[in-house]
């Protein structure tokens, strides 16, 4: 197993392949084993590690006092019990996030100490009612705590557990006087995670942060893309244009990976895949896809279940899968 993970890290960093074959598919536990525990909790991350995931993924937002915390969005009403705290009722407000009005409670209006009085709750209770039983059990984690969870998990399992942090809305936080990139680099530096061989893969939907990070540190980077829209910091650019052969060559100047919505590779399993994986590999980019979930509402046409969906994408030549159900993904990958 050690050799398998070292091979996985060689794939991540572009290092020479080791004699033991790498997994057919790297498994990124999307917010932990979030199909079985509330996302971004210690329980979700520990379960993902114990199920064999190669990497765990935290989404990063910021507190008012400049600490990187782990939540799906900076709007925290849907993933915490903040609404049950009368002392925070006056912080309910509407903000424009990446051009869209959002109403709720926002991480940047709370200090870390205040945020740590809140408890996590299931974000998709209708699809995952069993996870609701864990509501209220755990506090919000910091980025540092997730790094520590990965390291503890590595020691516990004898495998190298990588971390795949996503910088959420860095332009929004910069405009609010919270320089996410600087804080992020500080945390990576303090944990010796800035080198090209570090077990970390930095992701963002924006372009500028990844380009600037490429000039500051050598840690691997991944450009996120979705079927619709484009990077908020580049209104002249669409993800569709970035996914062309010419666009991918540009991405390859500052990142070694792309992380795309699965539908960009195959909207369903009843028609041939697109040429995106082939074009990305031709540009010397690895490809991850998101998000592989087990619930029927998330399965694409032609996929009987999550295993069938993952197997199809593995056979397409996908390099890594973001999954809320890492145990299933690991079974396919190995």
Q: Which positions are catalytic?
A: 30, 72
Taken as a whole, the chain contains a residue count of: 334
| 243 φ/ψ angles, rounded to the nearest 5 degrees | -90, 0
CA dihedral 308→304→298→330, nearest 10 degrees, is -30
Tokens found for residue 10: 């060689």
- Cα 311 off chain centre by: 21
Instruction: Report the distance separating Cα 245 and Cα 253, nearest Å.
Output: 13
- Count Cβ atoms below 10 Å from residue 133 Cβ, excluding itself: 11
Helix, strand, coil shares of the chain, percent, nearest 5, are: 40, 15, 45
202 within 8 A of 222, measured Cβ to Cβ: yes
The residues with which 204 forms a beta bridge, in sequence order, are 223
């Amino acid at each position: 197993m050690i050799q398998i993970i070292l091979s996985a890290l060689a794939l991540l960093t572009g290092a020479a392949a080791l004699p033991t074959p790498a997994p057919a598919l790297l498994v990124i536990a999307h917010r932990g084993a979030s199909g079985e525990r509330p996302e971004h909790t210690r329980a979700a991350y520990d379960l993902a590690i114990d199920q064999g995931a190669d990497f765990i993924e935290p989404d990063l937002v910021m507190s008012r006092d400049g600490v990187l915390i782990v939540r799906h969005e900076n709007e925290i009403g849907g993933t915490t019990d903040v609404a049950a705290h009368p002392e925070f009722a006056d912080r309910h407000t509407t903000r424009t996030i990446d051009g869209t009005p959002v109403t709720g409670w926002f991480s940047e209006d709370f200090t870390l100490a205040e945020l740590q009085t809140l408890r996590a709750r299931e974000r998709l209770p209708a699809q995952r009612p069993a996870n609701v039983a864990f509501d209220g059990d755990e506090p919000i984690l910091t980025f540092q705590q997730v790094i520590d969870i990965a390291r503890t998990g590595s020691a516990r399992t004898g495998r190298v557990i990588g971390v795949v942090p996503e910088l959420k809305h860095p332009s929004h936080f910069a405009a609010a006087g919270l320089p996410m990139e600087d804080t992020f680099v500080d945390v990576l530096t303090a944990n010796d995670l800035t080198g090209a061989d570090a077990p970390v893969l930095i992701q963002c939907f924006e372009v500028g942060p990844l380009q600037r990070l490429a000039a500051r540190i050598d840690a691997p980077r991944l450009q996120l893309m979705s079927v619709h829209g484009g990077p908020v910091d580049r209104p002249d650019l669409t993800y569709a244009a970035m996914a062309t052969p010419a666009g991918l060559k540009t991405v390859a100047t500052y990142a070694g990976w792309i992380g795309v919505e699965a539908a960009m590779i195959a909207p369903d399993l009843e028609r041939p895949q697109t040429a995106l994986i082939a074009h990305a590999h031709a540009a010397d980019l690895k490809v991850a896809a998101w998000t592989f979930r087990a619930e029927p509402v998330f399965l694409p046409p032609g996929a009987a279940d999550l295993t069938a969906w993952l197997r199809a994408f593995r056979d397409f030549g996908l390099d890594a899968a973001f999954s809320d159900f890492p145990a299933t993904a690991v079974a396919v990958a190995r």
